[in-house]
Structure 1
Amino acid sequence: MKINLRPIAAFASLLALASCGGDPSTKLDTPTSGTINISVDESFQPIIESEINTFEGIYKYANVNAAYKPEGQVVKDLLNDSTKIAVLSRELTEEENAVFKKNNRVARVTKIAIDAVALITNRQNPDSLLTMDELKQIFNGEVKSWKSLEKDSPLGDITIVFDNNNSSTARYVRDSLIAGNKLPANTFASNSHKALVDYVEENKNALGVIGVNWVSDFDDSTVVGFLNRIKVLGISEDPAPVTTEDYYQPYQAYIAQEAYPLRRFLYIISTEGRTGLGTGFASYVASDKGQRLILKSGLVPATMPVRIISLD
């Protein structure tokens, strides 16, 4: 009797390949190895790029591919399962969680930082201080001119500029400052944070709204370049401030002390069904090493104390 050895040989080859690790593309990722695609709110590109570079430097078999997008697109990616890891400045709504529940998916949320929204103006703008009441009037459309805020101002009509119509900063302003109402007709969107800074630098009537991460890391050459071209406003919650000391810029200490009013949180949201690379990356960002990077970036770490030193 003759035996066809070809199927046996083929099966033996597959076993040998499997024992050596097999095709890398078919291997499941682990918390410290493999490849994963994540969606990130573009407001946080500087800090997340730094976290990814450091994480991949420590774990040489880890490859985290980040796509930086407006907040609305990031949420859409998470809901349609085109990504399992997202970085956002808000938690999911009841409706969004219901979508995951319907599809037998669970969203795990890790708070990683306290962030803020910064307001920037042209360097020729003499007004560098605004109260929260004035801000609300601007974003409600009640105040449309710089002269309405300061009668001696040499400037004209205010132009409000966001980085994107679907950005987290635009959503933050709608939710926190104007109770969900529409933004006024003098509101525009640029195509990127660089384009936003370019516009504010070139237009003396502009009021830009930007994530503080783009103006907070003084060791980042891009941030330093931005700060040399625009002015960051101080904000006061007091409706009748007495001195300039009643106003606060979005510096790390003022965010940590809750003196700066336009604060928000930063989260990593994971829908991984097991402990994979996304979970490993989220754990790293929330760890001591990851939180130190957040501290260095000018944001406030969520899981480690910030030491405030008085110079008085």
Structure 2
Amino acid sequence: MKYFLRIFLIALLVAGSIFACKKGGENSAHVEETLTAGTATFVVDNTIQPIVEDVLAVFESIYIRAQIKQVNLNENALLQALQQDTAKVAVMARKLTPEEEKHFTDKGITPKVIPFATDAIALIINKSSLDTVVNLNEVFKILQGSESQKVKRLVFDNANSSVTKFMLNEAGVSGLPQKNVYSQGTAQDVIKYVHDNPGAIGLVGVNWIVQPPSELLTYVENIKVLGVNNVKKGKANAYFKPSQTNIATGNYPLTRTLYVLNYQGKNGLGMGFANYISAPDGQRIILKSGLLPETIPERSIQVRNKL
């Protein structure tokens, strides 16, 4: 009798545990969304994928009831997701134009747009190349469909990326030329292509070089970043690399501001993440990433008379 009683009690405990786990799982899946809890999907420009991954990882480690899915897309696909309402929060390398934003203003949604960093487009080449600098006008020649004696091949991620559109705008053209320009798919593919093809110049967000994913380390070790002259500021004979100092002073010519664009229309995880990435703790992560923070975090120094 005692044996059957014991079996009954064990079975009751197991059933109770299963019910509790199921109930807890259901509750966690339906946590009300707030600034620091709930679930959300963010669409992220894949040219700035690494820095967003870093900040999101820290954000979720602090606010353990927040679950944010990061979907990395090229700029065209990202805009489409916003316009089709499949995403309400985006991390982009520009603001939306008034025409693009009309979709939301017609619905009475006022966007909350928070700048958090300045990015730079790095021009990279195989480490075996003797070149250490490149004239920006020679790069523009290729994008304009002309021949260049100095630049033979330019390599982008894809025609719909924000890096490609930025460079086309800088060169004053609307589309990629038919020759001497190649698309590879992603920033990772650009880095691998430059690693395997001496003479090709690749264009990627600088964060991919400063903080590459572990699977790209061996590739990044065998490429180098070229210095670029700032023809826009009349510094045609001075060349600058995309360091934080050169980004801050404006000496490096190929820079762009990064934003969190929140179209949720409520105080949800979009606003919570934007608040975090633009606050001192988030800005310290940006500072370590190779990008320039929107605000430089204060560093307090405490002096002690005794050790």
Cα distance change, pair 215–306 in 1 and its aligned pair in 2 (3 A): farther
Determine whether 1:52 maps to 2:33. Answer: no
Determine whether 1:63 maps to 2:57. Answer: no
Tell me, yes or no, if the aligned pair for 1:215 and 1:226 is still in contact at 8 Å.
no
In the alignment, the residues of structure 2 paired with residue 53 and residue 240 of structure 1 have an alpha-carbon distance, to the nearest angstrom, of 40
Q: Secondary structure at the match of 2:77?
A: helix
The residue number in structure 2 matching 1:233 is: 226
The structure 2 residue matched to 1:197, chosen from 191, 202, 214, is 191
The structure 1 residue matched to 2:146, chosen from 142, 147, 156, is 142
| Aligned-pair identity (%) | 36
Q: CA deviation at 1:196?
A: 1.1
Cα distance change, pair 139–21 in 1 and its aligned pair in 2 (3 A): closer
Tell me, yes or no, if the aligned pair for 1:214 and 1:223 is still in contact at 8 Å.
no
The residue number in structure 2 matching 1:30 is: 34
The residue number in structure 1 matching 2:173 is: 180
Determine whether 1:264 maps to 2:264. Answer: no
Q: Which residue type is aligned with residue 193 of structure 1?
A: A
Q: How many residues align?
A: 273
Tell me, yes or no, if the aligned pair for 1:38 and 1:83 is still in contact at 8 Å.
yes
The structure 2 residue matched to 1:252, chosen from 244, 248, 264, is 244
Tell me, yes or no, if the aligned pair for 1:300 and 1:306 is still in contact at 8 Å.
no
- Using the TM superposition, name which of 222-231 and 252-261 deviates more: 222-231
Structure 2-normalised TM-score? 0.82
Q: CA deviation at 1:192?
A: 1.9
Q: CA deviation at 1:23?
A: 4.2
The structure 1 residue matched to 2:211, chosen from 197, 202, 217, is 217
- Using the TM superposition, name which of 297-306 and 39-48 deviates more: 297-306
CA deviations over 1:12-69 (Å, ceiling 9, x no partner): xxxxxxxx99844444211111111100001111111110110011111111110111
Q: CA deviation at 1:104?
A: 2.5
CA deviations over 1:214-270 (Å, ceiling 9, x no partner): 01238x65665343121211001257755xxx2111111111111111010000000
Q: Secondary structure at the match of 1:111?
A: strand
Cα distance change, pair 206–292 in 1 and its aligned pair in 2 (3 A): same
TM-align CA RMSD: 2.3
Q: Which consecutive residues of structure 2, in runs of 5 or more, have no partner in the other structure? A: 1-23, 300-307
- Using the TM superposition, name which of 131-140 and 258-267 deviates more: 131-140
Structure 1-normalised TM-score? 0.81
Tell me, yes or no, if the aligned pair for 1:216 and 1:223 is still in contact at 8 Å.
no
Cα distance change, pair 108–143 in 1 and its aligned pair in 2 (3 A): same
CA deviations over 1:65-108 (Å, ceiling 9, x no partner): 10111111111111211111100001110101111112222221
Cα distance change, pair 226–302 in 1 and its aligned pair in 2 (3 A): farther
Over 6 Å off, 4+ runs:
none
Q: Which consecutive residues of structure 1, in runs of 5 or more, have no partner in the other structure? A: 1-19, 150-156, 308-312
In the alignment, the residues of structure 2 paired with residue 270 and residue 240 of structure 1 have an alpha-carbon distance, to the nearest angstrom, of 38
